[in-house]
Chain A
Amino acid sequence: MTLRMQRQRLQKKLANLLEIPDDIVLDLPRITLLGNMQMLVENHKGIIEYTNKNVRIRLKRGELVLVGVGLLLGNLQAEELIVEGEITELRFVE
């Protein structure tokens, strides 16, 4: 655990030094929200659960839990994913 944190810190320093965006070096998801009606997740790792009220998206570390009403998967690709509907809650789970 500490080893991983150290490595992450090192990577972050390197990213700052080379002025590379953090999300590329650290393999983080880039999430764009359009109000509460649309969410674009880039760099996701798949879907764990999908229902009308609940979408769980796997990230590199942990998962992203979305709660809402009438959720749709608008666009499903290897790189990006769009969730449409009324989003009420957004939560990161380790």
Chain B
Amino acid sequence: MVSIEEEFSLLSFRLSNYFRGFLVVKITGQTLEKFINLCIHKGIYLWDIKRLEDAIIAKIRVEDFRTIRPIIRRAHCKIHLVSRYGFPFFLYRMRYRKMLIAGGVLFCVCLYMLSSFVWFIETVGLISLPEEAVLNAAKQAGLKSGTTKNKVDVKLVEHTLLVQIPEIAWVGVTLKGTKAVIEVAEKTVVRVEDKSPAHIIAAKDGLMEEIIALVGEAAVQRGEMVRQGQLLINGALVPKVKDFAGNLVPVPDSPPQLTHAQGIAKARIWYQAYGESGLMKQIDRRTGRIFTHIVLKVGQVEKIIKDGLVPFGYYETEEAYKRVPSWRNKHIPVESKIITFYEIELQEAPLTVDEAREEAKRMAFEKLQHQIPEGVQVLNRNIEVLKTAETDIVRVKVIVETLEDIGQIQKINSTQ
């Protein structure tokens, strides 16, 4: 039942004992109880008293050691000093270890001096600006790694950065310990549009489905087949006038007006692929026998715990990583890699015609996947089973129809 107050007083008691120093003494004699009572009476504080056969060992304050002498004499006892504890005695011992103290002082001085420099410069908030540009500008204003902190004029650095780099809208410099943080907010610069004269040409073969010229003149019409590289929207406009009948005719001998063609050019595009499958299929089946390698990785060092030659002819591998869960923001760089080898058996299984067709289809679609760009609108899928003379093979042709914008910008050479 030690209350907080008592606990605290115990701590302060120990602390004060340490700083004032205390002695461990051994008192021998016949009338030790008398000695203890006399000590209580005189207000000499003893603690941690331990009884031996014919002696007691007790702790006593340094200043009481002098006043204890007459009591010892009165109780007909003898006193021996066993050991000394506390800060005063520590200092006393330290007198002979001047270099240790000098080292301690030197350490403190070094730490203080090193902490008064800027060692690291960090930039926050950069999006398109290169970090070096900001750091160079900061260097010119006097902020670089290795300068003393009180020489860095934060206001001046901020001002210089703002003046030197026009892309910066706001900048804030803060010194945190030995690190300077340059916080930058960049201006959003309006992107300059490309105005150079250009045509729009077809990137792929296809059937034009939609052609809208925003700038320039449409060179093809809806429903027209186009070849790759064909002009779709003309950026070189020939001035035209109306003739008497009301038709537009080009003005003879006038140079074409060059523009940067813009517009939408959507076309239907067909992709096709073949797939085939025999009526037998190889199946990989795991036999259930496994073999493992274990690698332990600490930091960059890899330590192989278990490896060896894989005793299977055909096998599949799986890798699994296990790492120590990170605690707060600290990542513990220890992980283990377990590679498991599964033995497999190759078996041949007969396929029905339907299954073979599915297999062939799957193969064809797999081939198509490399050709069709991602995210395009698929209009139609056509699967056609090809009739062949062979009976043990199924061939499939797959045609996928998509709608894509096939417009591609092609610059007009001014010399042309």
Query: Which of A's residues lie within 8 Å of B, judged by CB?
Result: 32, 34, 46-52, 71-78
List the interface of chain B (C-beta within 8 A of A): 1, 32-33, 36-37, 39-41, 43, 45-51, 56, 58
Q: Does A78 lie within 8 Å of B32, measured CB to CB?
A: no
Of the listed residues A46, A52, A74, A76, the one surrounded by the most CB atoms of chain B closer than 10 A to its CB is A76
Looking at chain A's contact residues, is the secondary structure mostly helix, strand, loop, or mixed?
A: strand
Cβ-defined partner of B48 (8 Å) among A47, A72, A77: A72
10 more CB-based (< 8 A) A-B contacts, given A46-B40, A50-B56, A72-B49:
A46-B41, A50-B33, A50-B51, A52-B51, A71-B51, A73-B47, A73-B58, A75-B47, A76-B46, A78-B41
CA distance in complex: A50, B49 (Å): 10
Does B51 contact A47, Cβ atoms closer than 8 Å? no
Q: Is the CB of A34 within 8 A of B40?
A: no
A78 CA to B40 CA, complexed, in Å: 5
Query: Chain B contacts of A51 at CB under 8 A?
Result: 51
Q: Do residues B51 and A77 form an inter-chain contact, with CB atoms below 8 A?
A: no
- Inter-subunit contact A74/B45 (CB<8 Å): no
Nearest neighbor of B40 in chain A, beta-carbon distance: A78
Q: Between A and B, how many residue pairs show CB distances below 8 Å?
A: 47
Question: With A46-B40, A47-B37, A50-B32 known to touch, is A74 a contact of B48 (CB < 8 Å)?
Answer: yes
Q: Is the Cβ of A76 less than 8 Å from the Cβ of B51?
A: no
Instruction: Give 29 CB contacts A-B under 8 Å.
Output: A32-B1, A34-B1, A46-B36, A46-B40, A46-B41, A47-B36, A47-B40, A50-B33, A50-B36, A50-B49, A50-B56, A51-B51, A52-B51, A71-B51, A72-B50, A72-B51, A73-B47, A73-B49, A73-B58, A74-B47, A74-B48, A75-B47, A76-B36, A76-B46, A76-B47, A77-B40, A77-B45, A78-B40, A78-B43
Q: How far is the CA of A58 from the CA of B37 in the complex (A)?
A: 10
Known: A47-B33, A50-B56. A76 touches B39 (CB 8 A): yes
Q: How far in angstroms is the closest Cβ of chain B from A57?
A: 10
Contact A73 B46 (CB under 8 A): yes
Give bound CA distance, A50 to B39, whole Å: 14
Which residues of chain A are within 8 angstroms of B58 by Cβ–Cβ distance?
A: 73
Contacts of B41 in A (CB 8 A): 46, 78
Closest 4 CB pairs of A and B: A73-B49, A46-B37, A76-B46, A52-B51
Name the distance in Å between B75's Cβ and chain A's nearest Cβ: 12
Question: Which residues on the A side are within 8 Å of B51 (C-beta)?
Answer: 50-52, 71-72
Q: A49 CA to B49 CA in the complex, in Å?
A: 13
Q: Which residues of A contact B39 (CB under 8 A)?
A: 76
Bound CA–CA A51/B56 (angstroms): 9
| Cβ contacts under 8 Å, B40 to chain A | 46-47, 76-78
Q: Report which residue of A47, A49, A71 has the largest number of chain B beta carbons within 10 angstroms of its beta carbon.
A: A47
